[in-house]
Structure 1
Amino acid sequence: MKVTETKLKGCFILEPRVFEDERGYFFESFNHKAFCKAIGQEVNFVQDNQSFSNKGVLRGLHFQKGKHAQAKLVRVLKGRVLDVAVDLRQDSETYGQHVSVELTSDNNKQLFIPRGFAHGFVVLSDTAKFIYKCDNYYCKMSEGGIRFDTPELKIDWKLEQKDLLLSEKDKILPTALQPLT
């Protein structure tokens, strides 16, 4: 597995070693021991989530606050998405900065997003199946978010704004950064 730390400390791109032949391919998508060694910390995932979305669907930018904060390991099973992580850690040197990574069913890349980040993605292909592991259980009372088009973030979502499809909940998220502790 190739592991690359992004410009945001603790946020990693993981690329599995893929074995291909005339029958198809095989790769190990997750190995707890190898994963923790690669990122230099112990993370215990307790919940897997999966979504199916059409082109232009933008989900995010979401986070969990306080004791319900979540680290995530995200990947695409089918299709292509632009995945975005925003550093909201109050004492971080990269507070308010983001990384964008194209995750596809062809490149098999995964993104590890530590606690203290907002997360979102937009579907660039006709459809996409997206899966992610969380190291803490979801708690509705601790959810939060910031709008995808928050001016100070300057995120290029790779699609025209008129082509984006958002939930009603995501349309009314605040456009101000909120530090998470």
Structure 2
Amino acid sequence: MTLPPDDSALRRLAEQVGRHALDQRLMLVTAESCTGGWIAKTLTDIAGSSGWFDCGMVAYSYEAKQALLGVRPQTLEAHGAVSRETVIEMVSGALVHSGAHLAVAVTGIAGPGGGTADKPVGTVWIAWKRRGGYPQAQVFRFDGDREAVRRRTTAAALEGLRRQLLGDDPTAASA
């Protein structure tokens, strides 16, 4: 098991994301569940982030996912919060409810409890979407305790944003 990324590694990723977003004059939005706003915090730790970061939405409960992000109750009932279907509705809803051009959404099971045989602790879905484009989603299985899962999720989300901004497929990013 490799160590999760440290704060300096997350900061470097956030700086790269910010530089590319600023160069392209794009605003970003985050829709977060299991990370509790860690992605938005990491991005806004960068001085000047107001030039490329629009907003972040933390939606833990089903009700918040529905109200803030437009996730349909039927989606949550049929697939649960930790699913491809839900994260795609989250990322799409983040763009609908913001002025941003590029979104990232995350939903997962950080632990220590809450896992099942089908969705063990460390299961995380991440989606990225550009306004007017199609969402791209990927499932990850992260090792470690709650903090390690959340830290790895934040890093994967940022790496996917970086790849999106470079014109690469974010789902090609490794876990």
Give the alignment's TM-score, normalised by structure 2.
0.30
Structure with greater helix share of residues: 2
Larger RCO of the pair (alpha carbons < 8 Å, separation 6+): 1
The structure with the largest alpha-carbon Rg is: 1
Give the alignment's TM-score, normalised by structure 1.
0.29
